[in-house]
Amino acid sequence: MYDVIIIGGGPAGLTAGLYNARARLKVALYERLAPGGQVLTTDWVENYPGFPDGVSGFELMDRMKNQAERFGLDIRSEEILRLDLSQSRKLVITGKEELETKAVILACGATWKKLGIEGEERLMGKGISFCATCDGPFYRDQEVAVIGGGDTAVEEAIFLTRFVSKVHLVHRRDRLRATKLIQERAMAQEKIEFIWDTTPVGVLGETGVEGIELRNLKTGVMSMKAVKGIFVFIGTIPNTDLVRGRLELDGNGFIVTDDNMQASVPGVFAAGDVRSKIFRQISTAVGEGATASYAAERYLESIHELMS
Ligand SMILES: Cc1cc2nc3c(=O)[nH]c(=O)nc-3n(C[C@H](O)[C@H](O)[C@H](O)COP(=O)(O)OP(=O)(O)OC[C@H]3O[C@@H](n4cnc5c(N)ncnc54)[C@H](O)[C@@H]3O)c2cc1C
């Protein structure tokens, strides 16, 4: 019987694990890939405090993993396939075993929707980004493309105008989906050029982005824009298949929690990108991982008091 099982080894899960292991709880963290989460897909992180010159995504996550392991966190390379949260003793099921735990911390993150076009995998984190706050400053006085037409895409395009010389906003329809006010702000921005009815079909460049190939969906005409960065905002998919129908989720499928990261079932906590919230960053994931671990400890104390 575990005290806590953490699902996901990104910044949120590793931080929760560090705290819970250091508090001497019986805790295990399950990660289906290499520990590190989405940060492993970015070359360089400039906005995580404590690294004034920036740090590579790999190094940052390697340090987080080593720090958690130093305090005894048991990190296992396995995917959690099923959960049973219906009893106070929760069941966590992998392909090999069924584990019992008193509390669960869901730190399974989210997956940005990809374009699925030639060159995207090769240049992911090397010019293709899902985060203007994180990567915008790398493109000072350069031209970039933003893909998407919803609130996030248009807000991020506006944000990018602080740094870049031009934003080519590529949208597959002939009008934006973003709210009117945000649209008006974008239209008033001289640095944003709208490319309507168009979809990207390929990314050019070997070691860094050199350009983007486009196809007009109405005319079929192909074109190319020379850009150094491509920001993709066509939606995120929360990794919540495990808990759909078992926990309260918001309209986009993210887990709803209270301020202490407690989800809608007692003893189940969520932290990081998988939560319903407004800002998905390493620093927010880390803070929520710490809060979730502390809330889980308090929950364990409360059930021990009830039993004694
Ligand atoms: C390209 C890119 C660049 C970024 N750059 C920055 C940046 O510079 N600064 C910044 O602050 N933020 C950046 N971000 C955002 C940041 O990476 C995320 O906000 C952060 O990683 C969220 O952490 P997390 O622990 O919640 O989730 P994740 O990092 O998504 O980790 C979740 C983990 O859970 C695992 N998992 C999911 N389901 C299961 C399961 N069933 N069983 C086992 N394991 C499972 C996944 O494999 C994954 O490793 C960037 C994101 C991307 C994609």
Q: What's the rounded Cα separation, in Å, for the pair 243 and 106?
A: 9
Q: What's the rounded Cα separation, in Å, for the pair 183 and 114?
A: 24
- The residue nearest atom 1 of ligand 1, judged by CA position, is 42
Q: What's the rounded Cα separation, in Å, for the pair 105 and 12?
A: 9
Q: Which numbered atom of ligand 1 lies nearest the CA of 41?
A: 1
**CA distance readout (Å), 165 to 1, 189, 227:** 57, 12, 11
* Mode of pairing for the β-strands spanning 268-270 and 98-106: parallel
Are residues 57 and 42 in contact, defined by beta-carbon separation less than 8 angstroms?
yes
For 32-71, letters b (16+ CB in 10 Å) and e give: beebbbbbbbbbbbeebeeeeeebebbebbeebbebbbee
Q: In sequence order, what DSSP letters do the residues of 226-247 get, joined into one string?
A: --SEEEE-S-EEES-GGGBTTB
Q: Rounded to the nearest whole angstrom, what is the distance from the C-alpha of residue 38 to the centroid of ligand 1?
A: 3
> What amino acid is encoded at 22 in this protein?
R
- The residue nearest atom 49 of ligand 1, judged by CA position, is 37
Which residue ranges in the chain fall short of pLDDT 70? 306-308
Q: Taking the model in full, what pTM does it have?
A: 0.86
Are residues 200 and 119 in contact, defined by beta-carbon separation less than 8 angstroms?
no
For residue 121, the tally of other CB atoms under 10 A from its CB is: 11
What's residue 308's pLDDT? 59
**CA distance readout (Å), 114 to 84, 124, 176, 231, 292:** 31, 10, 19, 11, 30
Q: Which numbered atom of ligand 1 lies nearest the CA of 124?
A: 1
Pocket test for ligand 1, best of 18, 61, 108 (most atoms within 8 A of CB): 108
Closest CA to 147 of 110, 172, 180, 165: 172
What's residue 284's pLDDT? 97
What's residue 69's pLDDT? 98
Length of the chain: 308
Residue 135 among the catalytic residues: yes
**CA distance readout (Å), 91 to 30, 102, 103, 282, 292:** 14, 9, 10, 29, 19
Residue 131 among the catalytic residues: yes
Dihedral angle, C-alpha 39, 45, 50, 53, nearest 10 °? 150
Active-site residue (options: 43, 131, 151, 197)? 131
What's residue 122's pLDDT? 95
Please, what is the average pLDDT of the chain? 95
Instruction: Report pLDDT digits (tens) over 161-177.
Output: 999 999 999 999 999 98
